[in-house]
Amino acid sequence: MSANDETIYLKINQNVIVNDRNVTLGDIASVTSSNEAMVRQLKQKKIYSFKDHDPEGKSPKIQRAIFSILHIIELIHEDYPNAEIDNQGEADFIIEYEKEASPNTFLEAAKTALLCVLVFFGASFTIMSFNNDIGITELFGRFYYQVMGTESSGMTELEVSYCIGISIGIIVFFNHFGRKKITPDPTPIQVEMRKYEQDVDTTFIENAGRGGSEIDVN
């Protein structure tokens, strides 16, 4: 069997990040075949080149290009016209080019501190609003009076247990304490972030398809 008759298995994720302007197939895809020489050659095949500047002369930190898998198949068939291609990945995908830059430690620390402050006060306000809506103070006062037969001072075993329970519940729910995860499962924040990323990628792809900016076959 000649190289042109080989089956090429291709897998590309929905969003691929590269740091080189000149993108090769090996940068964005997992490629395999029984012909190793062909695979090595295909991985070196140039797929796309991002420009240094946009039409307005600016140099954006992140550039995106939306592709159809048919365009990749077309490029592969330029070298191996009779090869059979089995796509195991996405039908449409995004390539993001990010320039490599040394991280700004101070800026990252400042962003983290600001985020922690916002999350802390936001969560505190949410919990207090919830407690106020359900009248937790009056509820605990009535429950304490029914059990103990005396008026609550406002700081009893109920309030202390409630505060401890909320803290433990937050830690268990978010599956995170400090830098360590309690279990290997993804945290709720990681799950929601992944859903958000998928929604953003889907929107980019659909907008590119409707706007005619998707890189597809001629």
* Tens digit of each residue's pLDDT (9 = 90 or more) over 129-154: 988 888 888 888 888 888 888 887 77
Q: What is the pLDDT of residues 7-41, one digit of tens each?
A: 999 999 999 999 999 999 999 999 999 999 999 99
Residue 163 to residue 130: CA distance in whole angstroms: 14
Residue 205 to residue 47: CA distance in whole angstroms: 18
Q: What is the pLDDT of residues 77-132, one digit of tens each?
A: 999 998 999 999 999 999 999 887 677 788 888 988 998 899 889 888 988 898 88
Residue 218 to residue 210: CA distance in whole angstroms: 16
Overall pTM surpassing 0.85 (yes/no): no
